[in-house]
Amino acid sequence: MTTRAPEVMRAVKSEPGRHRPKGRLSHSLDMKASPYAYVAPFFLLFCAFGLFPLIYTAWVSLHEWTLTSDEHTFIGLDNFSTLFGDDYFWNATFNTLSIGIISTVPQLVLAIWLAHLLNRPLKAQTFFRITMLVPNVTSVVAVVVIFSQLFGRDYGVINWVIGLVGVEPIAWHEGTASSHVAISVMIMWRWTGYNALIFLAAMQAVPKELYEAATIDGASSFKQLRKITIPMIKPTIIFVVIVSTIGAMQIMAEPLLFGQTSGGGVASGGPDRQFQTLSLYVYEVGFTSFDFGYASAASWVMFLFVLIAAGINYLLTRRMGGALK
Amino acid sequence: MSRKGFAYLCLTAVAFFSAFPLYYSIVVASRHNSALAEVPPPLLPGGNFFENVSRVFDTVPFWLALANSVIVAGGIALSVMFLSTLAGFAFAKLRFRGRNAMLLITVGTMMVPAQLGIIPLYMLMVKIEWTGSLYALIVPSLVNAFGVFFMTQFLSRALPTELLEAGRVDGATTWGLFWHVVIPTARPAAAVLGMLTFMTAWNDYFWPLVVLTPENPTVQVALSTLASGYTNDYVLGLAGTAVGTLPLVLIFTLLGKQIIGGIMQGAVKG
């Protein structure tokens, strides 16, 4: 079917009297090859810099492979068995899940609620949308530098504010829970507004008549959100949940910089590794110890975890939507 | 309180929390370190901003970092605009075997966590001797799946098929159509894509950190050098942040309406 159209066009084109007539051959080559040539740059780049590294990671993970040595000894699954007995690895897994949950769950609930607030005729819509997205255009480095100051133990504004209500100053980067909260606040600050706008885009596509009918029936705004909006935008919610899950499983710049701005200097995620995430662990092994083989094994296991987490959340989100209907 | 009043109140609070950290970074960046120890902490900007900024330029090669970031982000943005429009044109309006499957694969690649291939990617860069060079940042980012999908969406809506057919009848080649019909139509969407891409590339941190050296940094790498090397000098770190990121935030607030429209349009894919 798809080959029919070019033939029609060719028939039209070969009519006499048209200017710049070209050979049938070069024309049919143009029609057949051009589309592939136009999409080729993307696929070539993806294969070279996306797919190849991903597959090569698997090959490297089966070797004892470091930057300094030219010899790459094949050791089978040894890297993986070492990894599964590695306390630092499991510590990083725990931290990733903890920071991922603390940062993502409240963030998405808040984003849906904000989108709900914006999804009505308001003055200054553009102003609110822009201020909401400003954190997202702030670079992650800037975010962590700024928040490290705000979360400072001695002179930080946050400790000053909680001090006003009588809470003792908190050394945010020292504890496990407190550092996870601090890092999650940075992530939430940067991404809540962005996700709210994505939800808002989906909400604006919901037919207005549904709300009008519900209002006549006396349904409250919150009830409309629960009974109409959320079920109607479920595909977008699933999409955002999966993208956020994949992002949360790869958190790395925030803990890296948070460790450095609080004087750690290395990629350990705090002196006791209390906020080292999986990505950061891969970075530490790969780019400070230059143990590529071991880091590649950790990468692959992380990939597996990403798939599992995304799959679980997909199922959970689907069921949540279904229960509401 | 009325329902609308409540919405205004909440949204204003959100606007405050969004803006305050940026505002406060200016406050700190315009003061002396000694002022930070005051109780209550200073909440208004001081007069030392330019002095602090010049310390930033003395401490790290910041001019070089700015130039590098402009080259990298600008080059990537131009290339993404061009190549995405080209591929988007093919996916939206040309007929070829395997089109739907290829579009599906393109969208699917957005789900691949790119960080996982970072070690072999680095090894590849070592092999072709691109470590420390801007090529290592630009070439892998010349086009991306989001851009292709974004332009496909836009062109399949905005580009009239009759216009292309008329061009064909006049004997235009596919390339001629792209140049004379597609590009003028694509311009507004490509501009939004360009701005989004520029901002993403400007803010990119992880890969530049891995592949560049502190001697030839981008802005983000230079900022992290400032922040991690001088941990007690908050003023220095935040002055660098102010120079390195606030211009972009400012541009964004000016062009924000268009950019937000672009993000929300790209989002409806669901």
Give B196-207 pLDDT, tens digit per residue: 899 899 999 989
With a CB-CB cutoff of 8 Å, which residues 233-292 of chain A face chain B? 235-236, 239, 242, 246, 249-250, 252-253, 257, 260-263, 265, 279, 282-283, 286-287, 292
Which pLDDT band holds residue A265 (cuts at 50, 70, 90)? low
* Residue B267: predicted pLDDT: 56
Cβ–Cβ under 8 Å, residues A129 and A184: no
Q: Is B191 exposed, middle or buried (0-12, 13-18, 19+ CB in 10 A)?
A: middle
> If we measure between CA atoms, which residue out of A58, A50, A51 comes closest to residue A295?
A58
Please check whether residue B223 touches A, CB under 8 A.
yes
Tell me which chain A residues have a C-beta less than 8 angstroms from the C-beta of B14: 114, 128, 131-132, 193
**CATH fold group of domain A80-324:** MetI-like fold (1.10.3720)
Tell me which chain A residues have a C-beta less than 8 angstroms from the C-beta of B144: 42
Low-confidence ranges of chain B (pLDDT < 70): 1, 230-231, 266-270
Residue limits of CATH 1.10.3720.10 in chain A: 80-324
A306 CB-near residues (< 8 Å, 6+ apart): A245, A246, A249, A250, B113, B116
pLDDT at A70 over 60: yes
Tell me which chain B residues have a C-beta less than 8 angstroms from the C-beta of A252: 115, 206
* Residue B143: predicted pLDDT: 94
pLDDT at A91 over 90: yes
ipTM over 0.90: no
* Residue B198: predicted pLDDT: 92
> If we measure between CA atoms, which residue out of B267, B269, B235 comes closest to residue A155?
B235
B121 CB-near residues (< 8 Å, 6+ apart): A49, A53, B140
Q: Which of A131, A147, A287 is the closest to B210 by Cβ?
A: A287
pLDDT at A239 over 90: no
In b/e form, how buried is each residue of A228-246, taking b as 16+ CB within 10 angstroms?
Answer: bbbebbbebbbbbbbebbb
- How confident is the model over A129-138, as a mean pLDDT? 89
* CA separation for the pair A57, A107 (Å, rounded): 33
Structure tokens of B37? Answer: 């120890």
* CA separation for the pair B199, B142 (Å, rounded): 15
- Indicate yes or no: CB of B95 within 8 angstroms of CB of A128: no
pLDDT single digits (tens) B87-134:
999 999 999 999 999 999 998 888 777 778 888 899 899 889 999 999
* CA separation for the pair A143, A149 (Å, rounded): 10
pLDDT at A218 over 60: yes
Which CA distances in Å does B200 have to A37, A46, A137, B93, B245?
27, 18, 8, 28, 12
* CA separation for the pair B206, A285 (Å, rounded): 15
Please check whether residue A308 touches B, CB under 8 A.
no
Give the total residue count for chain A. 325
Please check whether residue A155 touches B, CB under 8 A.
yes
Q: What pTM value is reported for the model?
A: 0.87
Query: What are the backbone angles phi and psi of residue B70, rounded to the nearest 5°?
Result: -65, -45
Query: What are the backbone angles phi and psi of residue B60, rounded to the nearest 5°?
Result: -125, 155
DSSP A66: B
Which pLDDT band holds residue A15 (cuts at 50, 70, 90)? very low
What domains can be seen in chain B, in order of their start residue?
Answer: 61-230+245-267 (1.10.3720.10)
